[in-house]
Structure 1
Amino acid sequence: MTDLDTPAAAPPRAGALRHAAPALLGYAGVRALGLITLALWSAANGKSAHTLLTARWDSLWYTRVAAFGYGWEVRLPNGDVHSNLAFFPLLPWLERLVAALSPLSYADAGLLVGTLASPAAAWGIFAVADHVYGRRAGVCAALVWAVLPVGIVQSMAYSESLFTALAAWSLYAVLAGRWLTAGLLASLAGLTRPVGAAVVAALWVAAITSFVRERSTPPARGAFGWRRALGMLLAPLGAAGYVLWVGHRTGRGPLGYLDVQGQWGNGFDGGYAFARFVGDKFTSFPSALAGVGLTVGVALVIWLYVSCVRQGQPLPLLVYSGIVTALALCASGYFGSKPRLLLPAFPLLLPLALALARLRTSRSAAILGAVAAASAVYGAFWLNGSGPP
């Protein structure tokens, strides 16, 4: 691996694109399969696939922010207030920009942003895995991310693809010792989703570790120390800026954003509410099957993280995926959304990518193809039903 204290030499852009081409072409194929399946399923149900991708759940909140700004809220019968201040601003800003520069609506602008961000995320995932484990593992990592059961979200007007792209490329920049790039991308990730704090933490841990290591090396090795320090300063500006602005707007200071999330039923309780939710599934036979599935899913996520540690993944990746996983599993609300909230935790997939990379190409392609088909069917079923938000 490249030393974190010195920037790594990068291939020319055209060469980098050719290098990543198998991953990007495979990713495009998986996403095309998912969209075609969704279109056919939706048509059979008399629904519009376009509407399902652009005007469901969170995407409606983002387009309202883009159209009218912040301040819109919904008051529920129990007195709770759902404010659009819960949604970070980068995606609606981009929707507003694209709509201003084109004839697209805000919803279609969001879909375009997601359409462009998802292959950028796949490329970033490839770049990280390629940097750490080699090209073959990189291709498999991008494809495993594509075939996740909730992969259809990558093609929606949601912020997951945008955030994952920024996070993956920021982590790649950290691994390559490009601190200014890493800090800027981390700041943008912090403007996209609350979990942007995980990118900031990964960068800070890597920077502090490199500083400690640098103390035992000749002074020349610290030539890029100012870039590292500036990257550390840049990284938290996005998230901190928005949280402080919300606090000022609500009059609650730094706690304002937590209050907004609390009204939505979101909070961090160490997983107590989620454990109760899973436990309640075992009170009757039909729902017990769902309880078993949830238990197996959580165990799989924990096993994957332990595998990442045992494989000796770089510390920034472990910090990032650990925080994303902890925030997803230990949040107190929206239990059905947890698979989607785990979508940015792509380092968890590297053990699976390595296992696939060790197989013959025909066998790994067959496995990925079968999972891609199942994921496409699940995504179409999910979006055409009530589904989790």
Structure 2
Amino acid sequence: MVAETVERTGGVAAASATPWGRVGAAARRAQTALLWFVGIRLAGAACVAAWAWRTGRHPRSLLGGSWDSQWYLSIAQHGYGMAAPDGRWPDVPGADLAFFPLFPWLVRGVGAALPVHALTAGLLVAWGAALLAAWGIFAVGERLHGRRAGTLLVVLWAVLPHAVVESLAYTEALLTALSAWALYAALTGRFLGAGALAALAGLARPSALAIVAAVQAAVAVRAWQQWRRGPVRRPAPGGRVPDGHVPGRRLCAAALLAPVGWLGYVLWVGRRTGRGPLGYFEVQARWGSRFDCGRDALRAVRRLVLLGAPPAYLMTLAVVAVALLLYVLLAADRPPAAVLGYVTVLVVLALGGTGYFASKPRFLLPAFPLLLPAALALARARRRTTAVITGGLAALSLGYGPYLLTLAAMPL
């Protein structure tokens, strides 16, 4: 019996030592969080479907073909350089160059591999990315504060007022997935992996600059720590370097690799437009999107306070205010440099840009570490209190999502 037990335990340990074994163990740890996430988002999709049918629209078209989704699907089907998808958009030459290519590439790949329409392929990519994002969010939360906090971090991300975006054919879930796993890689000392994921994220959205900055901040901190410890004099037994030392060339490679995707696309747009390195920013300017350090956002807040606004704009104002409060609480908790750098850049980019004030909660969706203070508070609270709070947030999110997609007269 003892021999059988030792043999079985040894087999489990050997399996967990393999890459697939580690992935399986990580998936089992995240199982509860992922089940909660899938359940909440399925409930959200059901609410959207019920309201879509009530208003005479097809749920698939509503989830897969709303607003920016039309641009991504057009690029996936026809490439860049096509006219605006419909009459709601300005037919400006080169307008589609504002949209980064990774999501359309994935949609095209899924459409080539499966016998499905591009719209369905877009939803499959987005939903798969959202699930990977939830897993990565749990991994970061568990790494920093334990399994219960990681689970609640995922639940809070799933019940945000604008969480319906996680179910749309949009790129926020894709950026969140790549960023979360890049953060996890940086936190666990896998710097080359973090740099590669950041490079891939740079092809997803312009705000991927945040994860580029996060990886480079993590590299800088590790390099500083190793410099203060002094040079490694001799390897540990077995030839391994002691104390988790990362060779300097590997740190440099990670720092240089992280911005490759973002820079590559921006420079490609500049070459295509003939405007050089600033060509991409001129394309963004045609959409009314520039960085003005938040002056336009402050003017929008002033108009909302003085003149009033529809509920969606008031909800936007509330989300922005809560996000700023959570940022202060997160910074006071002194998280790792990679986490704080990631959130800081995302908040600055989301709130410092011109126009699209009502879209700022969507821009903040990848900033999941902002929810860490709330997740920690709920993890320490009584289970009944946690259930009441998360249940109330879920009810708000499940009701607000259909309103945004069907009734709110504003771009999402």
**What TM-score range do you get, normalising by the shorter chain?**
over 0.9
The 5-angstrom pairing of residues 44-193 of structure 1 reads 44-74=54-84, 83-193=95-205
Q: Alpha-carbon deviation of 1:293?
A: 5.4
The 5-angstrom pairing of residues 204-219 of structure 1 reads 204-217=216-229, 218-219=231-232
Match of 1:38 in 2: 48
Larger radius of gyration between Structure 1 and Structure 2: 2
**AA in 2 matched with 1:274:** A
Aligned residue for 1:195, secondary structure, equals: helix
**Mapped contact 2:83–2:91 kept (Cα < 8 A):** no
Correspondent of 1:251 among 253, 257, 274? 274
Q: Deviations over 1:331-359 (max 9, x none)?
A: 10111111100000011000010011112
Q: Deviations over 1:159-213 (max 9, x none)?
A: 1111100000000000000011101110110000001111111111110111111
**Mapped contact 2:320–2:361 kept (Cα < 8 A):** no
Q: Which has the higher contact order (CA 8 A, sep 6+)?
A: 1
TM, length-normalised to structure 1: 0.93
**Mapped contact 1:82–1:264 kept (Cα < 8 A):** no
**Mapped contact 1:99–1:105 kept (Cα < 8 A):** yes
Matched, 1:22 2:32: yes
**AA in 1 matched with 2:157:** W
Equivalent-residue separation in structure 1 for 2:82 and 2:222 (angstroms): 44
Q: Alpha-carbon deviation of 1:366?
A: 2.9
Match of 2:260 in 1: 237
Q: 1:46 to 1:330 in 2, by over 3 A?
A: same
Say which is worse superposed, 270-279 or 286-295, in terms of deviation. Answer: 286-295
Q: Alpha-carbon deviation of 1:72?
A: 2.2
**AA in 1 matched with 2:325:** W
Q: Alpha-carbon deviation of 1:78?
A: 8.9
Q: 1:209 to 1:78 in 2, by over 3 A?
A: closer
Between the two proteins, the alignment pairs up a number of residues equal to 381
**AA in 1 matched with 2:50:** L
Aligned residue for 1:92, secondary structure, equals: helix
Q: Deviations over 1:221-242 (max 9, x none)?
A: 5443332222112111100100
Equivalent-residue separation in structure 1 for 2:213 and 2:28 (angstroms): 32
Equivalent-residue separation in structure 1 for 2:325 and 2:152 (angstroms): 19
**Mapped contact 2:292–2:353 kept (Cα < 8 A):** yes
Q: Alpha-carbon deviation of 1:100?
A: 0.8
The 5-angstrom pairing of residues 278-317 of structure 1 reads 278-284=301-307, 286-287=308-309, 295-317=317-339
Q: Deviations over 1:109-166 (max 9, x none)?
A: 1100011110110111110011011111000000100000110110111111111000
Gaps (5+ residues) in structure 1? Answer: 1-8
Q: 1:295 to 1:48 in 2, by over 3 A?
A: closer
Q: 1:235 to 1:313 in 2, by over 3 A?
A: same
Match of 2:10 in 1: none
Q: 1:239 to 1:382 in 2, by over 3 A?
A: same
State the identity as a percent. Answer: 45
What root-mean-square deviation, in Å, do the aligned CA atoms of Structure 1 and Structure 2 show?
Answer: 2.2
Match of 1:5 in 2: none
**AA in 2 matched with 1:28:** V
